[in-house]
Amino acid sequence: MSDAALLAQRIVVALDAPTEEQNLALIAALEGRAVHYKVGMRAFYGGASRTLRAISSAGASLFLDLKLHDIPKTVESAARVLAVHQPALLTVHASGGPAMVRAALEGLADGGATATRVLGVTVLTSMNSGAVQALGWGDDVGAVVQRLAGLAIEGGAHGLVCSGRESAMIRTRWPDVLRVVPGIRPPGGAMDDQARVLTPGAALAAGADLLVIGRPLWQSSDPEAAWDKLVSGGA
């Protein structure tokens, strides 16, 4: 498989556009190209029924990025409800602790989504050392990511969400967990509200399994051309 084909298989398209119509247009534009789509809080809470159907019709996998974070019983109940969508991936905040992660897994199983893999979100890619220090977590982002990753894995998480800057460390310590990396930008691309970003090629080299890419695609006037540029030269 060529490098471009490999990268295309690793990209998760973040459907974070302001309206469902824009997200639907992006799915249509990338038909035959994208194989994974992420539906986050804005899209899901705004009403994403048509988007979810379009993803299914395209034969693509669904990543529900809802970052569940509550007491274990509430997370279990929420995961049971979300199981109806049969997502390939579902996120929970690792800072909720191992019991909360286990509760999400139990809720999914009870709801019949036994194939869904739970991802523990470590430190958001919008946060830098000052931001984690303000939370009382210390100022070493890598150490915080490692600590939260350990909690998620203790609870049974199948994978982790971290920035590309920490994915090599995750790969070294937990080589078998799925590493999902947001905050991906093409070479020379704007950082926007992200603090810890990498290019697609750099993230893959650092050990990322899946790359979450949103703005470079949905903000483009030509998503197909933007996609082709990413997969052919996104070093």
Is residue 70 within 8 Å of residue 100, measured between CB atoms? yes
| pLDDT at residue 235 in the model | 47
pLDDT at 148 over 50: yes
Highest mean pLDDT among 103-112, 117-126, 183-192, 221-230: 103-112
pLDDT at 189 over 60: no
pLDDT at 135 over 80: yes
- The CATH number of whichever domain residue 67 belongs to comes to 3.20.20.70
pLDDT band at 184 (very low <50, low <70, confident <90, very high): confident
- Would you give the DSSP letter of residue 85? G
**Sequence-separated (6 or more) residues with CB below 8 Å from residue 57:** none
Q: Could you give the number of structural domains in the chain?
A: 1
Beta partners for residue 179, in sequence order: 160
CA 105 and chain centroid, separation: 17
Percent pLDDT > 90 in the chain is 67
Q: Where are the beta strands (DSSP E) in 97-144?
A: 117-121
pLDDT at 136 over 60: yes
CA distance linking residue 153 with residue 102, whole number of Å: 10
229 has catalytic annotation: no
Q: Report the pLDDT averaged over residues 22-38.
A: 96
The pair of three-digit structure tokens given for residue 153, joined into one six-digit string: 């894995």
| pLDDT at residue 2 in the model | 63
Query: Sign of the CA dihedral 198, 203, 206, 209?
Result: positive
| pLDDT at residue 124 in the model | 85
Q: Report the pLDDT averaged over residues 48-57.
A: 97
CA 233 and chain centroid, separation: 22
| pLDDT at residue 3 in the model | 67
CA distance linking residue 10 with residue 52, whole number of Å: 20
- Higher-confidence residue of 229 and 194: namely 229
pLDDT band at 206 (very low <50, low <70, confident <90, very high): confident
For 39, phi then psi, to 5°, come to -110, 115
- What 137-141 contacts at long range (C-beta under 8 Å, 24+ apart), as own/partner pairs, is 141/165, 141/166, 141/196
Q: Which of 38, 67, 73, 229 is catalytic?
A: 67
Residue type, 162: C
| pLDDT at residue 85 in the model | 97
| pLDDT at residue 191 in the model | 47
| pLDDT at residue 188 in the model | 53
| pLDDT at residue 159 in the model | 97
| pLDDT at residue 186 in the model | 66
What's the whole-model pTM score?
0.91
Boundaries of domain holding 33: 3-233
- Arithmetic mean of pLDDT over the chain: 90
pLDDT band at 208 (very low <50, low <70, confident <90, very high): confident
- Higher-confidence residue of 193 and 112: namely 112
